[in-house]
Amino acid sequence: MHPFRKAVEDRDTAAIEALLADNVVFTSPVAFKPYPGKPLTAAILRGVLRVFEDFRYIREIADPGGRDHALVFEATVAGKRLTGCDFLHFDEDGKIDDFMVMVRPLSAASALAEAMAAQFDRIRSEAIAAIAEAR
């Protein structure tokens, strides 16, 4: 089992954050523009853990070199079942530098967008606090 998968399944936010590169870029399934940087990505992932119910990975796919992983998952958001995939790319230090998520069906993606929009003030505050703490 990949360390990222274990961290997510254990809901270990410190371990999840430790696996992120400082320059990670997070591409959301429901936002047009990618989100750059570890503080914002970590805050988004904490928000996702708050809104996903019954989350579980069902498949793990890796390239032979180990730099790219696809983790297929199922979850519920606001009563809507969804299937999604975390596409992870790892830098030469083994940290996630590119993190893209896709989900289906559209009704569940819409529910996810609404749930995450409700989290975004908290996400922004957490990211700003992390940046200020790092200075």
At 134 the pLDDT is: 77
CATH code given to domain 3-130: 3.10.450.50
DSSP-derived secondary structure for 32-52: SS-EESHHHHHHHHHHHHHH-
At 53 the pLDDT is: 93
Q: CA–CA separation, 31 vs 14, rounded Å?
A: 25
At 123 the pLDDT is: 86
**Could you tell me the pTM of the whole model?**
0.92
At 133 the pLDDT is: 84
Provide the angle, in degrees to the nearest 10, between the axes of the packed helices 106-134 and 38-51: 140
At 49 the pLDDT is: 94
For the chain, list residues with pLDDT below 70: none
At 77 the pLDDT is: 95
At 40 the pLDDT is: 94
The pLDDT tens digits of the residues spanning 100-115 come to 999 999 999 999 999 9
At 1 the pLDDT is: 72
| Dihedrals phi, psi of 67, to nearest 5 degrees | -90, -15
